[in-house]
Structure 1
Amino acid sequence: MNTRMRRAAVAVAATAMAVSLAACGSAKESGDKAKDSGGGKKGDELKIGLLLPENQTARYEKFDKPLIEKKISELTNGKAEVVYANAKQDATVQNQQVDTMITNKVDVLIVDAVDSKAIAGGVKRAKDAGIPVVAFDRLAEGPIDAYTSFDNEEVGRVQGKALLDALGANAKAGQIVMMNGAITDPNAKLFKQGAKSVLEGKVNIGKEYDTKEWKPENANANMEAAISALGKDKIVGVYSANDGMAGGIITALKAAGLAKLPPVTGQDAELAGVQRIVAGEQFMSVYKPYAPEAAAAAEMAVKLAKGEKLDAIAKSKVDSPTTKGVPTVLVPVVSLTKDNIKDTVLKDGVYTIDEICTAKYKAACDAAGLKK
């Protein structure tokens, strides 16, 4: 090869190398930008982590988990994998589960925190690993990307109003007991605030408890203490933050030998709670349509995993103690009493007549007009 031809070949090779390097640099830069903006994820072949807090309350395993899984499957043409774990009310275990999800390289994480403060470190570790986090049902601390729940102060207001309606003219004839939820659950504080905004000044609050871990047995022990302190005949009503605790409370009231049970509130429309309402042992529950909440969590998770914006889903924003302006979906709630069982949990297919009206409750169901 002569000198001129050699120089031409070198020039062509150099140009090709420069173009190649530029293209590589451009691709890398484009990839980095996609990564920074949350893009570059797989299409529908996503791996979505789901962490739920406990299995004492029926809703998590019976409703939330299958509803979220179903919606994610619909949104991803059945191609997404949901990796599930339940912390069984242990905040330390839940933080370990977050680390496992990070190791498994999930694309997004849905977390219902056992303890909203304790989970903050896990949320930060997930974010540092490039994994967006959706706070489900409870407003977790740390750098969360989205949040969905019910209007929790409204839950308390609905409970408080129902209790006042049940008490009527007897609202100040004696004392009520307030059985609030766990202090580790930020929702419990909101339930209490909402209830007190309705009840204060209109009832006499004889005893008030923040019940450890939402456990029925703890509510039962607290109620026994309240009965001992106030006298069984002085208690005209009980504010119970959820149905599980209402069961423990009613057991204590029955054991005390009351001639007539005072009205007791609840929340979650658990099957046992609905049956107690039919039987006249529990006055009300708060029915929270789980499907819209689960759908919102699934939609936000899928969009975040794909690097898409949440504007079309999250129409409002909330502030947590650590993060401002979190995109949020809040779902409305319904006061469930004997009068609207047909129009709520039966109409929505949460339960069937056969599930509610077992042999033990058949007579009460007949009296309430709950028949096939």
Structure 2
Amino acid sequence: MAMLPETSRRRLLLGAGALGASALATGCVANDPPQERSAAPVAAGGDNAEPGKHVRIGFSAPAADHGWLAAMTTNARAQAEKLPDVTFRPTEGSTDVNRQIAQVETLINEKVDVLVVLPADGKALTGVAREAMRAGIPVVNVDRVFDSPEAYRLWIGGDNYGMGVNAADYIAEQLRGRNVDDPVIAEVAGTDSLPLTQERSAGFREGLAKHGLRVSRRVAAEFTAETGEQEMTNLLQAASRLDAVWNHDDDQGIGVLAAVEAAGRDEFFLVGGAGSRQVMDRIKAGDSVVRATVLYSPSMCSSAISLARLLGQGRGMSDLAEHEVPRSVTTYSAVVTGENVDRYLDIGFAS
């Protein structure tokens, strides 16, 4: 579109303004009632619960060698089974990136209607996801984002930065309530080389800074229970006093809590991450240092299947006015505490 010269553009704006003022004055003199504006339609997607065109959904995720990952696949399958107009075509999970690429290629060749992919490595799977999109198969990218937006129609995942911020806000509130001066705050991170860990740590660090607080001690536990126990043991030996701990991941938290109990330490409170059922049960029981967990729920994979169905049927979301499914959905990292834990027990996953 060609740009108007500045003087012409100014005349156009002034002319439009004069026309608007004239119309407004005419309306006021005539005492005409204001014209009713047509409201945007709601429920443009129709009733999403109503069965629609049958959709064949291909699904690919890494091997379930972690409680959270296992729950992602379990949730996807369970959601598909609830939908009478969906056929679920999963592949066998693998930690081998090349094998996952080959499995996605198989689903493309089978001409599934929609693909739901949780990539073991977003960058490595970008090429095959773009291949699917070029073949006319919409791709729902779950959590670990592909390198190119051309590789997916929809991304759905968690808010890693927000997870850290919400953990920081909760810890700051609890410390204020306990009148703790100059608190010693520890962080048990996941795998430092992963962007998600970096984002969680950045959110936690910057969230604490808002309250005039900082991370005093930090270790990385690689998202495993074994390393969690080892790193927490080292942390406890190095710190004679702790006031609060944020552990990024409830799966590695199994080891973290084992180390805490073995050391007999209970002068601090601990906030978990992700939302395992075991941690929620500990929160509800109130019999340990665990006081909360910040959600990064695998229920996002259930939602991914439901959204893939709507994409395959050419429908929007019934609660939105838009006729299309959104481009991206970011889940919220709610803080689960003793006060609200019953509300979230249904999405707690097995570590």
The alignment's TM-score, normalised by the length of structure 1, stands at 0.66
Which position in structure 1 is the counterpart of 2:292?
284
Amino acid of the residue matched to residue 335 of structure 1? Answer: V
Shift of 1:97: 2.7
- In the other structure, the counterpart of 2:139 is 133
Please state whether the residue corresponding to 1:120 is helix, strand or coil: helix
* C-alpha distance 282-312 of structure 1, shift in aligned 2 (>3 A): farther
Distance change (3 Å), C-alpha of 1:84 and 1:329: same
Residue 203 in 1 paired to residue 210 in 2?
no
Contact 2:220 2:231 in 1 (8 A): no
Q: Report 1:30-69 matches (<5 A).
A: 44-62=53-71, 64-69=72-77
Distance 1:281 1:267 in 2: 14
Structure ranking higher on relative contact order (CA contacts 8 Å, 6+ apart): 2
Alpha-carbon distance in 2 for matches of 1:92, 1:47: 24
Measured in 2, the distance between the counterparts of 1:343 and 1:171 equals 33
2:225 is the alignment partner of 1:221 = no
Unaligned runs of 5+ in 2: 1-51
Q: How many residues align?
A: 287
Pick aligned residue for 2:272 from 259, 266, 270: 266
Deviation at 1:284, TM superposition (A): 0.8
Please point out which of 162, 179, 187 is paired with 2:196. Answer: 187
Q: Quote the Cα distance in structure 2 between the aligned partners of 1:271 and 1:248.
A: 15
**Amino acid aligned to 1:342:** D
Name the counterpart of 2:311: 304
Deviations 1:296-338 (A, max 9, x none): 42243224334667844645xxxxxxxxxxx112233321112
1:97 aligns with 2:92: no
Whole-Å Cα distance in 2 between the matches of residues 247 and 206 of structure 1? 22
Q: CA deviation at 1:210?
A: 4.2
The CA deviation at 1:74 is: 5.5
Q: How many Å apart are 1:251 and its aligned residue? A: 1.6
Q: Name the CA distance, whole Å, in 1 between partners of 2:267 and 2:65.
A: 25
Match of 2:186 in 1: 177
User: 1:238 is matched by which residue type in structure 2?
Assistant: V
- What is the alpha-carbon distance in structure 2 between the residues aligned to residue 226 and residue 167 of structure 1? 20
For 2:260 and 2:228, the matched residues in 1 are separated by 11
In the other structure, the counterpart of 1:111 is 117
Q: How does the TM-score come out when normalised to structure 2?
A: 0.69
Could you tell me which residue of structure 1 aligns to residue 342 of structure 2? 342
Write out per-residue CA displacement over residues 76-133 of structure 1, whole angstroms, 9 at most, x where no aligned residue.
xx24321123535443443333233234332221112222223223323333444321
Per-residue deviation at 1:67?
Answer: 4.3
| Aligned-pair Cα RMSD in Å | 3.2
Change (3 A) 1:225 1:282: same
Quick check: 1:248 aligned with 2:242? no
CA contact (8 A) 1:87 1:93 kept: no
**1: CA distance, partners of 2:269 / 2:121:** 30
Indicate the percent of aligned positions where both proteins have the same amino acid: 21
Q: Which one-letter code corresponds to 2:142 in the other structure? A: F
Structure 1's 280 and 340: CA in aligned 2 closer, same or farther, altered over 3 A? farther
Classify the secondary structure of the residue corresponding to 1:170.
coil
Counterpart of 1:162? 170
Is the CA contact (8 Å cut-off) linking 2:241 and 2:267 kept in structure 1?
A: no
Post-superposition shift, 1:178? 1.7
| Corresponding residue SS for 2:273 | coil
Instruction: Map Cα deviations across residues 234-280 of structure 1 (whole Å, 9 max, x no partner).
Output: 3332221121122221222233342x252222123212111332222
Find the partner of 1:121 among 127, 131, 136. Answer: 127
Q: How far apart, in 2, do the equivalents of 1:182 and 1:93 lie? A: 23
Q: 2:161 aligns with which of 153, 156, 159?
A: 153
| Shift in alpha-carbon separation, 1:269–1:129, aligned structure 2, 3 A | same
Asked if the contact 1:127–1:133 (Cα under 8 Å) also holds between the matched residues in 2, the reply is: yes
Against the structure 1 CA distance between its residues 100 and 235, is the aligned structure 2 distance closer, same or farther, given a 3 Å change threshold?
farther
Give how far 1:56 is off.
4.0
- Contact 2:108 2:132 survives alignment (8 Å): yes
